[in-house]
Amino acid sequence: MSEATESASTTHEIAADRRQAHQQWLLEVTQIPTAAGKEQRVIAWIDAWLAARPNLSKHTDPHGNFEIRIVGIPESDHPIYFTAHLDHPGFVVEEVISETQLVLSFRGGVMADYFPDARVRVHCSDTCFTMGTIGEEIKATNDKGEAESCKPFKRYACTLDQAAEIEAGTIGTWDLPDAKIVEDEFGGIIHTNACDDLAAVAAALSAIDELAQLKADGTEIGDIRVLFTRAEEVGFIGAIGASRDGFMPKGSRIIALENSRAFPDSPIHGGPIVRVGDRISIFSPELTGAVAKVAERIAGGPALPTASQKISEMPKWKWQRKLMAGGACEASVYCAYGYCSTCVCLPLGNYHNMAGLAEAQAGTHEGTPRVGCEFVGLDDYAGMVDLLVGCGIDLPSSPGFVQRVEKLWADTRFVLDR
């Protein structure tokens, strides 16, 4: 890596007006109704966004996944991908019993405790919705005559507040308050419908838009692409399809973007998280190390203080490096299909809209658990964009650890002889 390239990676500053645009995209995208297999509204928003950017092109695979590239950059056998999924746990109308009675399936992972008498919005159109209340889970009968949940998705009765013309396939979402930004000492938290994974979608768009502008200004940019996948919340279906088909070249380095449940050791306002693995697998160590190296360059230091450092000496730009053992993400899929992949995520509050999840899991929740807006820190979101831009400018081909230990050997082996 040249000295000029290292300087560009370290000192690039995103202008205030562009930061504001990135935040506005975050606010808009995370409020769009979406569900697994029903991501059309998000795709339409992205298409409108792309229409104003002739320097970016879109390429779609047979499963409705699509990638975005910077026009004018030669294709490589080893591009870098930023990937995010377009869906969020939500309802889909399966049957219309009458003008006020529906059967909804739920596509995603939410505890059963949150459903009884919950309020939902059934989206008749892009600008109009009607309200309803979730009733009993509709069970199927197995071979033994026993009632069990319908496969592959649980189904619920829904009673609308008033008669409405609803078609099968219509999206339903939880009835949540309007999105808002709550100011705090760290720059604010956005409370909105669906951070997972639409906040990552906004971050990926912000990063490639920034990289395209850097290319236009004369900075050398490699083959950086964004991949948006479908139906992650029901088993990574879009990512599996893209991987099976080889939509991404086998030499790709894939950075999956996620929103992962925040914990005390992976807090909101702690910075974007470089995930070393999830509950399924450990990600590609060389790529995880390379992304961590970029984070260290931006921050000027490691994620946590070393034994010889004081907390007060830590850099102001924060980042985290964690094993997120509670959930799983698309990086495990890409690794399973032989790709070099890792993950960067935002620490997330009210994971899958489950407010008070810790209490609900422990059985100590007072009353029926209720859903709430998901939320992420604006500083963490800006940090994710910074990290992706840094990776786009110069992602090391390896973490360089062998070179480091070889230097240690050369400099310090003398102690073995004294």
Q: Quick check: bond before 197 cis, omega within 30?
A: yes
Per-residue tokens: 323: 């094993």
Domain closes at, from 147, 174, 201: 174
Q: How many domains does the chain have?
A: 2
108: its two tokens = 């995603």
Q: What's the pLDDT at 3?
A: 37
- The per-residue pLDDT for 401 is 66
Tell how far CA 393 is from the center of its chain: 21
Q: What is the pLDDT of residues 153-165, one digit of tens each?
A: 999 999 999 999 9
- Identify whether residues 78 and 121 lie together within a single domain: no
Low-confidence ranges of the chain (pLDDT < 70): 1-11, 306-315, 398-401
Sheet of strand 180-182: strand arrangement:
180-182, 189-192, 374-377
Provide the pLDDT for residue 231.
97
- Do 219 and 365 belong together in one domain? yes
Domain boundary among 174, 199, 215: 174
Q: Tell me how far apart the alpha carbons of residues 222 and 79 are, in angstroms, rounded to a whole number.
A: 8
Q: What is the pLDDT of residue 148?
A: 87
Residue 308: the pLDDT is 65
Q: Are residues 385 and 330 in the same domain?
A: yes
Measured distance CA(199)–CA(44) in Å, rounded: 16
**Has residue 24 been placed in a domain?**
yes
Check which CATH number belongs to the domain holding 136 and give it: 2.40.30.40
The confidence score (pLDDT) of residue 218 equals 94
Question: What pLDDT, in 10s, does the model give residues 299-354?
Answer: 998 888 766 666 666 668 999 999 998 889 999 999 999 999 999 999 999 999 99
Question: Cα 403 to the chain's mean position, in Å?
Answer: 33
Whether residues 302 and 365 fall in one domain: yes
> Range of 183's domain?
3-88+179-403
Residues 187, 292 within the same domain: yes
Where among 113, 139, 174 does a domain terminate? 174
CATH number of the domain enclosing 199: 3.40.630.10
Burial class (CB in 10 A: 0-12, 13-18, 19+), 326: exposed
Neighbour tally for 404: CB within 10 Å: 10
* CA pair distance 257, 338, nearest whole angstrom: 18
Asked whether 41 and 193 are in contact (CB, 8 A), the reply is no
The residues near 134 (Cβ < 8 Å, ≥ 6 apart) are 104, 115, 116, 117, 118, 119, 120, 156, 157, 158
Whether 288 and 151 map to the same domain: the answer is: no
Beta bridge pairs of residue 349: 375
Report residue 94 as tokens: 């399966």
Token readout for 29 is: 């995208």
Check whether residue 160 and residue 230 sit in a common domain: no
Biggest CA pair distance of the chain: 88
Decide if 269 contacts 364 (C-beta within 8 A): no
